Structure 1
Amino acid sequence: MAAPTRFNDRDIKLYRWRWSGKNSRGQRVQGQLVAGSRTEVEKLLAGQRVLPTSIRRKSQIGRGLGGINSRDITLFARQMATMIRAGLPVLEAFQVVAESISKPAMSALVQRLLNDVAAGSTFAEALAKHPRQFDSLFVSLVAAGEQSGTLDRMLERIAFYKEKTDSVVGRVKKALWYPTAVILIGIGVTALLLIKVVPQFESMFAGFGAELPALTQLTIRLSELAQAHWWHAILTLVGTVLLMRLATRYSSAFAYRMHALLLRIPVIGNIVLKAVLARYARTLSITFAAGVPLIEALDTSASSTGNRVYERALREVRSSVAEGQQLQFAMRMTDRFPAMMIQMVGIGEEAGSLDAMLERVATYYEEEVDNLVDGLTSLIEPFIIVVLGVLVGGLVLSMYLPIFELGTVL
């Protein structure tokens, strides 16, 4: 089978088209489509056995399919599963789903899939042309569903899988971004006080003619530094973030070290670890249950972890399993997986229910992530209050100390 052509979806302009024509029964029909060109609209209508009499371009709605997110893909999978389970042929299911989607970019994507399938491609081949929206796991499971005649169940599994993994990713992001955002706001408020407020007090203190307290002198020096170099600090911060992102993207060694460092951060590292284990277990469970060979399932699972440390570990596991070793022993040799997880995998292998056991493991770690994030939120709120109190309260106190001392002298 030839590899499917992949489109660069970001470079395609999308327009809204109004059309009218006659269907196969000779009835007049009309509607709207989202497509990149008039030719594409004609192909879409031909696939629906509509003879167009008028096609008019209304407006441009954006460039490419960049606005599509994971929730849109999950909703698409669930809607397709429902339509196919109801007995609709795949082409009709595509049409119904395309008409029910309100987001133009997603509607255009579904219509392209419909066009590809109508032209003779399989569902999986059509999906593979859009790797930005449909990953290898999605394509593999749809291909397995088409071959086994269980496409509706496979799409339902994909939707369930994406909901679970997105939930875990969302919880981890909350654990990472919540304290970071609050601390950055605190630093921003402190910088504003140093640059705008402290100089007003400094001019007032100049007329006191007395030595200022040490804390006030320190604050004034910090204010002078902030006024002179605030833009250096912003440029350095932005530059550091950009360099780290570029290095993570283009240097595998740097990305590996950063991911390893993330796993060692107190509390946060434990949450990330549990999330990685949950994604690995759920991905391997769903792919293995779909009839994908274990070697291929491990490949897909390695790519889905989102962590370079465990991706490398799972590549080692795959190599060991390919050489004939049991999964539980291959996992133990990497020294990366908890004993409980290895024991559960061993029980699943011996009982012939590896997929069910992995699903239990995934559920367990997902619940652990929820509990840890909730605990972290409760723990970190008082810590953040203390940090902000020290930063802002310390500045205010340092500015009022000379006034208090002057009042005492008088």
Structure 2
Amino acid sequence: MAIYDFKGRNSDGRLVTGQLDASTQDGAVNQLLGRGITPVSIEPHVEELTLSDRISRSLNAGRVSSVELIMFCRQMHTISRAGIPLVKGLRGLSASIRNYAFQQALNDIVERLEAGVELSSAMRAHPKIFNNMIVSMVSVGENAGRLDVVFKQLSEYLERDHSTLKSIKTALRYPSFVLIAMTVAIAVINIYVIPAFAGLFEKFGAQLPLPTRILITVSDFFVNYWMYILLVLVAAVAWCLHYIKTPEGSRVWGQKKLRLIIVGDIIERASLARYARSFGLMLNAGLPLSNALELSARAIDNPYLGDKIRAIRAGVERGEGLYQTHLVSGMFTPLVLQMIAVGEESGQVDALLAEVASFYESEVEYDVKQLSDRIEPIMIVMLAGFVTIIALGIFLPMWDMYAIQK
């Protein structure tokens, strides 16, 4: 389908202008004639973009935020529940979305639906926007006639996931700013402040204490080799980013970040909450156990934990129970394992997994609130150490020179 700008005259002979959707120009002519309008001109619509729109489209680079996905799922829940045809509903959503990449994806999905393709298959053509879990859930909803329920569950899942990640990022913002400020301060002091004091001390020819000699040596290294230091840092960061994107590197980083001081435990429980929530959600939607575990391994966004979940899937495929496979994985506490065992015995694994997810999410929420209180003492100690070293290095020789002069 394409958009056409038209000019025509109605039955009274008055000039009428507007836009319409049609697959071809001839189709647009037939639509106008059906409305009693004699077409004068029909031209393909050319979108006029402002400079800000062009900049935003170039910066977006095909990305769709989690908030936009949440709103999409909510709106699709409303459309499905109200019984509005999918083509009509998606066309309306596309017209109201400002994200160009998302808008184009929805237009493509509409065209595929009009060609007879199922919604899940049309969404699978856009893996950067709709991941495997979303596509599989939609497929189950189509087959069961429960699209409205599935989209509601997806919106709730994405909203909880977004809220948890946002809380962690918010808690880490303050220490990140402090570390950046300390790095800038160290660079400025080493490049500008210490060399000035070094020249002053050299004029007096005094014997400098050890802390001062260390500071001057470090400062000279910064001043003389700053370009090489910068190149090494840039190369190291580039290599680390490249390594993390490799299969081996992503698994190593997935394991290492679970062992980070203070935040590692929070990241692990947030990942396990995502696993429990997504696994229970897919079981509730009716996905086979093996498929649900595989999709949960992808949804957890940690290749190291993903391998453990795939080991759970392998155990289930061998005929082992959920409790035994989860126990062998070593990822869960005894309380959580007990809840999984009860769910397996009662046939309500999905409901118990939702309880597990809520348990982990409440723990993460509490720890995130306490994160600043746990990080602040470390920041204070680091700042105190930094100030003490600078003060000793600068003031000790001044005191020595003052004592000599007396």
Question: TM-score w.r.t. structure 1 length?
Answer: 0.85
Q: Secondary structure at the match of 1:20?
A: strand
Residue matched to 2:144 = 148
| Alpha-carbon distance in structure 1 between the residues aligned to 2:151 and 2:111 | 20
Q: What is the CA deviation profile of residues 165-212 of structure 1, one whole-angstrom value per residue up to 9, with x for unaligned ones?
A: 122233344556653453233122111110111111222222223222
* Distance apart, 1:351 and its partner CA: 1.3
Unaligned runs of 5+ in 1: 1-16, 34-40
CA contact (8 A) 1:183 1:388 kept: no
Q: Name the SS for the 2:84 alignment partner.
A: coil
Structure 1 residues 44, 379: CA separation in 2 closer, same or farther (over 3 Å shift)? farther
2:220 corresponds in structure 1 to: 224
2:37 corresponds to which residue? none
- 1:288 aligned residue: 283
| 1:24-63 alignment runs, 5 A limit | 30=18, 42=23, 53-59=42-48, 61=54, 62=57
Distance 1:226-1:45 versus aligned 2 partners, 3 A rule: farther
User: Paired residue for 2:127?
Assistant: 131
1:290 shift after superposition: 0.3
2:360 is aligned with 1:371:
no
Equivalent residue in structure 2 for 1:88, among 75, 81, 84: 84
Alignment correspondent of 1:301: 296
**Structure number, greater radius of gyration:** 2
Q: 1:162 aligns with which of 154, 158, 161?
A: 158
Matches within 5 A, 1:69-88: 69-88=65-84
Q: Contact 2:5–2:45 (CA<8 Å) still a contact in 1?
A: no
* Cα deviation, residue 340, structure 1: 1.6
Which residues in structure 2 correspond to 1:90-129 (within 5 Å)? 90-129=86-125
Structure 2 distance, partners of 1:216, 1:333, is 56
**Within the alignment, does 1:208 sit opposite 2:204 as a pair?**
yes
8 A contact 2:244–2:250 mirrored in 1: yes
Distance 1:124 1:183, change over 3 A: same
For the residues of structure 2 that align with 1:398 and 1:32, how far apart are their CA atoms? 76
C-alpha distance 301-372 of structure 1, shift in aligned 2 (>3 A) = same
Give unmatched runs, 5+ long, in structure 2. Answer: 33-40
Match of 1:395 among 390, 394, 400: 390
Structure 2 contact 277–354 (Cα < 8 Å) conserved? yes
Corresponding position of 1:273: 268
Residue 20 (structure 1) aligned with residue 15 (structure 2): no
Query: 1:41-98 CA deviation, whole Å, 9 max, x = no partner?
Result: 8579979x96692224234643585232222122111112122222311111112211
1:291 Cα deviation (Å)? 0.6
Deviation of residue 28 (structure 1)? Answer: 6.2
Deviation of residue 214 (structure 1)?
2.4
- Aligned partner of 1:228: which letter? N
d(CA) in 1 for partners of 2:130 and 2:216? 56
Question: 1:144: Cα distance to partner?
Answer: 1.0
- Using the alignment, how far apart are the partners of 1:249 and 1:165 within structure 2? 23
Distance 1:321 1:43 in 2: 53
- TM alignment of 1:170-249, pairs within 5 A: 170-174=166-170, 178-249=174-245
Q: Tell me if structure 1 keeps the 8 A contact 2:138–2:147.
A: yes
Give the residue type in structure 1 aligned to 2:5: S
Alpha-carbon distance change, 401 to 42 in structure 1, aligned in 2, over 3 angstroms: farther
Shift of 1:105: 2.6
Asked whether the equivalents of residues 316 and 322 of structure 2 are also in contact (C-alpha less than 8 Å), the reply is: yes
Tell me the percent identity: 29
Q: Distance in 1 between matches of 2:48 and 2:212?
A: 61
Q: Return 184-193 or 384-393, whichever deviates more.
A: 384-393
Question: Quick check: 1:280–1:304 contact (8 Å CA) kept in 2?
Answer: yes
Aligned-partner residue type, residue 302 of structure 1: A
| Residue range with higher mean Cα deviation, 332-341 or 219-228 | 332-341
RMSD (Å) for aligned C-alpha atoms: 3.0
Deviation at 1:130, TM superposition (A): 0.2
The residue number in structure 2 matching 1:66 is 62
User: What's the counterpart of residue 323 of structure 1?
Assistant: 318
Aligned-partner Cα distance in 2 for 1:29–1:151:
38
What is the count of residue pairs matched by the alignment?
Answer: 384
2:341 to 324, 336, 346: 346
1:407–1:18 Cα change, 3 Å: farther
Tell me the distance in 2 between the aligned counterparts of 1:68 and 1:191: 37
TM-score, length-normalised on structure 2?
Answer: 0.85
Q: Output one character per residue of 1:333-370: Cα deviation in whole Å (capped at 9) or x when no partner.
A: 22232222211111111112111110111011011111
- Structure 1 pair 106–258 and aligned structure 2 pair: CA distance change class (3 A): closer
